Amino acid sequence: MSSPPIADAFAPHEALAAELLAHATESDDGSHDVAHVLRVFRNTMRIAESEGGDTRILSAAVLLHDCVAVEKNSPLRASASRLAAEKAAKILAGLGWTEADIGRVSHAIEAHSFSAGIAPETLEAKILQDADRLDAIGMIGAARCFYIAGRLGSALYDPADPLGANRALDDKRFAIDHFETKLFRLADGFQTKSGRAFARERHERLRHVLDLFIDEI
């Protein structure tokens, strides 16, 4: 028995997913793959249930938010969401979307990124930013952190000073430094009430992961 098409998992916007999934990712980065896109979609739908928002706009923004691949250690990292927004606009224009709707999707994509530092101005942009950041904390966030560290050739931790009590934190060298330099800071920046509630739960999970890690080493 064959598996159902992955687009079906994006119901009730499976038809849109079928059009856009081919553009969703462009690298072999397992932390920004279709599984990540689907998790962000599910986070988005959960938040939108309480907050509202146009789920068609949200779904397009989710499906295309990582359509340009830029590695975490690239000097272009801060421009990744702008490049993705520009590419998304071209894709949606080719599908006959209106200029107004393209603008709403593009803004949500450009503002979702932590690195870009752009304030989300619409409800959809706030929801996408929250949904994407939820995937950076909790158990999934920890798994992605270690995956990226391996991809970039970083060590798990400094054996002489794991938590950086007497050294400067450097998340390019040590994976668990990234918990303190970025991941633990994310929960305070959520935009929606629902997003903040989900973030508090995942933040505690992330702290528990680090506690268990330190206990075992």
Pair 173, 105: CB distance under 8 Å: no
Give the model confidence (pLDDT) of 23-53 as tens digits.
Answer: 998 778 888 899 999 999 999 999 999 999 9
Q: pLDDT tier at 99 (50, 70, 90 boundaries)?
A: very high
Instruction: Specify the DSSP class assigned to residue 159.
Output: T
| CATH architecture of the domain with residue range 136-217 | Up-down Bundle (1.20)
Residue spans of the domains in the chain: they are 1-119, 136-217
Decide if pLDDT at 85 tops 70: yes
pTM of the model: 0.92
CB 96 within 8 A of CB 13: no
Question: Which residue from 150, 181, 152, 149 is spatially nearest to 164, judged by alpha carbons?
Answer: 181
> pLDDT category, 73, cuts 50, 70, 90?
low
Q: Please check the confidence at residue 70 and state whether its pLDDT lies above 90.
A: no
Q: What percent of the chain has a predicted confidence (pLDDT) above 90?
A: 82
Residue 142 has pLDDT above 90, yes or no: yes
CA-nearest of 128, 120, 119, 31 to 72 is: 31
1 pLDDT above the threshold of 60: no
Average pLDDT, the chain: 93
The mean per-residue pLDDT over the stretch 97-123 comes to 92
Query: Which of 82-89's residues contact partners 24+ apart within 8 Å by CB, and which partners?
Result: 82/110, 82/116, 84/109, 84/110, 85/109, 85/110, 87/23, 88/23, 88/60, 88/61, 88/64
Residue 4 has pLDDT above 80, yes or no: no
Please tell me the predicted confidence (pLDDT) of residue 166.
97
Torsion on CA atoms 46, 50, 51, 52, rounded to nearest 10: 90
Quick check: 77 pLDDT over 90? no
